Amino acid sequence: MPFEIVRNDIVKMQVDAVVNSANPHPVVGTGVDTAIHNAAGPELLKAREEIGDIKVCEAVATPAFDLPAKYVIHVVGPAWVDENPVEEEMLKRSYRAALDVAAELKCESIAFPLLSTGNYGFPKSLSMRIALDEFSDFLLDHEMDIYLTVFGEEAFKLSNSLFKSIQSFIDENYVASKFEEEYGVDGEPYPASGASNLSPRMKARREAQREYAAEYTLGAPEPVEEAAVYGAPQILAEAIPDGKKQTLAEMIADMDAGFAETLLTLIDLRGEKDSAVYNRALVSKQVFSKIRNNPNYTPKKPTCIALALALELDFAETQEFLAHAGYTLSKSYLFDVIIMYCIENKIYNVVFVNNLLFERDLPQLGSK
């Protein structure tokens, strides 16, 4: 699928490019930087020395040498020292810089770590949210498989209020017992920034970062509703011709058509392009072509749900849409309950939905 969160060591990822959270100077840093250099061999450091210093938010590529990849894309992320929107914007630029380099190299796949979350102090949950935003935007216009690699069993929370809400929804709707024993999740507090006890090296880095940040300013952020933060861009809410008394759900139910024809009809009713829908759904062009050209082909349930979310169907519309593929959403399955929660709360961004599923070790949406 175009985007997937995986629990894996980034040095084992068989992709076109792996992203290194690099030191700004041509030396081997800590964490991911050390792991990548150790796995790639000494030639990687020699290539890095030829490049010299890299500025914050910039990315450059070298061969991957002994790694199972073609390239290492070295990107220098910001440090979380002043805890302000400028540093968040700089992290966004860092993710996008790596993606842009991968696009220039015509990479078909790329693996990221969570940038700036080690010694640079960014909260993992914040780096995760910024990464998901940038990946979502990038995939609207590019064909690339993006993997976000994480270690261990730790869950990354997009917001405390969101996860309290979804836990409450699960408690009320999921019929299985002993949920906490099987799927218990604990909140991860933001770590302290450490700004008051920085090492000399980090103090020097903070000053350099502030000089970079001074080159541009950010306006005051406009207040937004939380649902808008996690939802996909708005599309036509309803596209039923004037005079139709049926709801869209009733119209879908009355369609005497297979799944493919139903899907294509809904895309036309929304006034959408096929590519816009399958990109938002994280469904590959190849799979969508198979759906379009083979009326007898039925995609897997996660693919159908992803397409329903991309079309921003409500619960009743989604149930009728899935019925054309022989599926339904049931409160007997945790996977389905998570999807119900997202639909009820208008969380249509498939990348964010996949994060919610990943945290509970459930299958992710989309298709390869």
164 and 122 together in one domain: no
Query: Dihedral through CA 98, CA 99, CA 105, CA 107, nearest 10?
Result: 120
Q: Which residues are catalytic?
A: 33
Non-local (6+) Cβ contacts of 337 within 8 A are 169, 170, 173, 174, 331
For residues 167 and 176, which has the higher predicted lDDT (pLDDT)? 167
- Judged against a pLDDT cut of 70, whether residue 222 lies above it is answered with no
Q: Let me know whether 140 and 19 are in one domain.
A: yes
Cβ neighbours, 10 Å, residue 346: 16
Same-domain check for residues 98 and 21: yes
Least confident of 47-56, 98-107, 222-231, 244-253: 222-231
Q: Are residues 304 and 357 in the same domain?
A: yes
Task: Measure the N-to-C terminal CA separation of the chain; round to a whole number of Å.
Answer: 4
| Residue whose pair of structure tokens reads 């995609």 in the numeric block | 299
The pair phi, psi for residue 147, each rounded to 5°, is -115, 130
On whether both 165 and 231 belong to a single domain, the answer is: yes
Residue 243 vs residue 297, higher pLDDT: 297
> What percent of the chain is predicted at pLDDT more than 90?
28
Q: How far apart are CA 282 and CA 264, in angstroms?
A: 17
Same domain, 83 and 182: no
Q: How confident is the model at residue 165 (pLDDT cuts 50, 70, 90)?
A: low
Q: Could you list the residue range(s) of the whole structural domain that residue 108 is in? A: 3-156+199-213
Higher pLDDT, 299 or 209: 299
Cα separation, 315 vs 313, in Å, equals: 7
Task: Show which of 213, 248, 279 is a domain's final residue.
Answer: 213
Let me know if 286 is exposed, middle or buried by CB neighbors in 10 A (0-12, 13-18, 19+): exposed
Residue 110: give its domain's CATH number: 3.40.220.10
Residues 176 and 324 in one domain: yes
Question: Does position 126 have pLDDT exceeding 70, yes or no?
Answer: yes
Q: How many domains does the chain have?
A: 2
| Whether 143 and 174 share a structural domain | no
Whether 149 and 177 share a structural domain: no
pLDDT of residue 238: 41
The region of weakest confidence among 123-132, 204-213, 270-279 is 204-213
Distance CA 10, CA 110 (A): 10
Q: Round the CA-based radius of gyration of the chain to a whole number and report it.
A: 22
Model pTM score: 0.61
- 165 and 104 belong to one structural domain: no
* 181, 209: one domain: no
Mark whether 47 and 120 lie in a shared domain. Answer: yes
